[in-house]
Amino acid sequence: MSRIGVEESLTNIQEVLREKGFDVVEIKQEADAKNVDCCVVTGLESNIMGISDTSLKASIIEANGLTADEVCREVENKVNAIQ
């Protein structure tokens, strides 16, 4: 099962991903993003937690302007690409 890190403010996206069977980890700080396959953040320009740091091996999805279903499709595409 893929572990998906989701910024704590994106509760609707967390719920949709859990319903789809993903192991969702709430990201409150940069350390929470370790060992996840994909991260969903509100916006890369804010980069409050340093999650867009190139040392992070997970794919990063910017949720700004996307619906929860659109983000879920993006996550599924990223996860399928790494398997």
* Whole-structure pTM value: 0.83
pLDDT at position 47 is: 53
Query: What are the tens digits of pLDDT across the range 45-64?
Result: 555 555 555 456 778 899 99
Question: Which element (helix H / strand E) includes 46?
Answer: none
pLDDT exceeds cutoff 70 at 3: yes
Q: Where are the domains of the chain?
A: 1-45+57-62
Query: Token pair 């994909």 is at which residue?
Result: 38
Query: How far apart are the C-alpha atoms of 4 and 24, rounded to whole Å?
Result: 5
Question: Which element (helix H / strand E) includes 41?
Answer: strand 38-41
Torsion of CA 53, 33, 26, 45, to 10 degrees: 0
Query: What are the tens digits of pLDDT across the range 11-31?
Result: 999 999 999 999 999 998 878
